[in-house]
């Protein structure tokens, strides 16, 4: 009996081993037949199309979106300002720079930051306030002690006429002390990425209000996004009206805007801010737009005279518009490699 069981198991074992060997060999044969399935896929061979070899097309090159020089010319006019910068208003492409990293006194360009901080505050621009004797310092011929104005009136006197007294009254009317207001100015400059800018008073009379030309250009660009600021800076003259008194004309300090320096730019194409103290000499930052709706910002810092800052800004802008093409301009595509 035991012998029969042993013989049976032996026969069964041999039969099972045969089945396993047969299965393994069949799998091996199938793998050899389909070994391409086990390899990484290969690209199909190139085929002839119309006498040429068809190849996979390369991706198209990205089209530039910045202005490009049409003739590779260099601005070579003599400039007397200490620091100069001209950049594209949309892309910040630099067209020309001279000592743009120099930290310079801002003078009344400071008022742009003051205006931005004032707009951050809950001010009722229809409210009225009185000009106090303590507000006067002899620097204004627009305002007199005892007169009452709407705050909106003082806003335009401050920005159109670059009036220091009007700025001081607006800061006083905000309910914030001058020292705390300056803190807000510096905090805002930091938030706006103006790393070189430092402010010490809201008017710009203090020579410690400083920044590099690139931050000045940035300040103007940000300020002009505020409609209230842009409207004031594009106003060649303003008539202030003290309550119960006669209107008085306030001229813009921007001589390109008033037309006292001929430029060829329409008034709607000009928006800028001037500044002057002895520490800074004559400063000017302006956005100019040509007839093709291209806008650039020009910074002039430390010019030797009032007229010079406007002339050098105008001439540099004219050179940029004459020698650069923008992506939408005819002939731009020919400049792209």
32 within a domain of the structure (yes/no): no
- Residue 161: CATH number of its domain: 3.40.710.10
| pLDDT at position 16 | 52
Mean pLDDT of 141-150: 94
Residue 26 lies inside a defined structural domain of this protein: no
- Among the residue ranges 53-67, 74-88, 158-172, 299-313, the one predicted with the least confidence is 53-67
**Do residues 282 and 306 lie in contact, with contact meaning Cβ atoms separated by under 8 Å?**
yes
Q: What is the C-alpha separation between 337 and 325, in angstroms, rounded?
A: 15
Q: Which two tokens stand for residue 270?
A: 């000009």
Q: Are 256 and 306 in contact (CB under 8 A)?
A: no
Neighbours of 315 (CB within 10 A): 16
**Segments forming the whole domain that contains residue 189:** 68-335
Residue 287: DSSP 8-state: E
Q: Where are the beta strands (DSSP E) in the chain?
A: 48-49, 52-53, 68-69, 83-88, 94-98, 104-105, 128-130, 148-150, 210-211, 237-240, 248-251, 270-277, 281-289, 295-303, 324-325
**Residue 33, class by beta-carbon neighbours within 10 Å (0-12 exposed, 13-18 middle, 19+ buried)?**
exposed
Least Cα distance to 310 among 254, 237, 228, 249 occurs for 254
- The pTM for the full model equals 0.81
- In whole angstroms, give the CA distance from residue 84 to residue 88: 14
In percent, the amount of the chain with pLDDT more than 90 equals: 77
Taking only the tens place, the pLDDT of each residue in 243-300 is 999 999 999 999 999 999 999 999 999 999 999 999 999 999 999 999 999 999 999 9
Flag whether 55 is in a domain.
no
Rounded to the nearest 5°, which phi and psi values hold at 324? -125, 150
Average pLDDT, the chain: 87
Flag whether 278 is in a domain: yes
CA-CA-CA-CA torsion sign (15, 20, 26, 29): negative
Residue 229 placed within a domain: yes
Hey, is 277 helix, strand or coil?
Answer: strand
How confident is the model at residue 48, as a pLDDT?
A: 44
Rounded-to-integer distance, Cα 329 and Cα 67, Å: 9
Is 39 inside any structural domain?
A: no
- Is residue 151 in some structural domain? yes
Specify if 9 maps to a domain.
Answer: no
Question: How many domains in the chain?
Answer: 1
Q: What is the pLDDT of residues 17-62, one digit of tens each?
A: 554 544 444 444 344 444 443 444 454 454 444 444 444 455 555 5
DSSP state letters, 16-83: HHHHHHHHHHHHHHHHHHTGGGGSPP-PPPP-EETTEE--PPPPPPPPP-S-EESS---------SSE
Three-state SS letters, 109-131: HHHHHHHHHHHHCCCCCCCEEEC
What pLDDT is attached to residue 3? 52
């Amino acid at each position: 009996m035991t012998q029969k069981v042993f013989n049976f198991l032996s026969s069964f074992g041999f039969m099972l081993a045969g089945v396993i060997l047969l299965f393994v060999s069949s799998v091996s044969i199938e793998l050899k037949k389909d070994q391409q399935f086990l390899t990484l896929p290969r690209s199909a061979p190139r085929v002839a199309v119309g006498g040429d070899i068809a190849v996979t097309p390369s991706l198209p090159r990205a089209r530039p979106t910045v202005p490009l020089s049409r003739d590779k010319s260099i601005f070579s006019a003599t400039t007397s300002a200490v620091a100069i910068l001209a950049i594209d208003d949309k892309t910040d492409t630099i067209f020309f720079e001279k000592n743009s990293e120099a930290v310079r006194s801002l003078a009344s360009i400071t008022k742009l930051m003051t205006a931005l901080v004032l707009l951050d505050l809950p001010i009722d621009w229809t409210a009225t306030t009185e000009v106090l004797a303590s507000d006067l310092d002899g620097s204004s011929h627009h305002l007199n002690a005892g007169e009452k104005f709407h705050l909106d009136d003082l806003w335009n006197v401050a920005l159109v006429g670059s009036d220091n007294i009007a700025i001081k009254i607006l800061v006083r009317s905000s309910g914030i002390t001058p020292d705390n207001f300056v803190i807000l100015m510096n905090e805002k400059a930091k938030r706006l990425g103006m790393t070189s800018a430092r402010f010490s008073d809201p008017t710009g009379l203090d020579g410690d209000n400083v920044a590099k030309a690139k931050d000045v250009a940035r300040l103007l660009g940000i300020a002009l996004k505020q409609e209230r600021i842009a409207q004031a800076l594009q106003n060649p003259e303003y008539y202030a009206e003290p309550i119960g008194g006669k209107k008085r004309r306030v001229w813009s300090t921007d001589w390109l805007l008033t037309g006292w320096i001929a430029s060829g730019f329409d008034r709607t194409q000009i928006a800028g801010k001037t500044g002057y103290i002895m520490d800074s000499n004559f400063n000017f930052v302006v956005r100019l737009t040509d007839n093709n709706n291209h806008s650039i910002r020009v910074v002039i810092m430390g010019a030797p005279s009032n007229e010079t800052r406007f002339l050098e800004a105008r001439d540099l802008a004219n050179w940029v518009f004459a020698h650069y093409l923008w992506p939408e301009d005819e002939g731009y595509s020919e400049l792209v490699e």
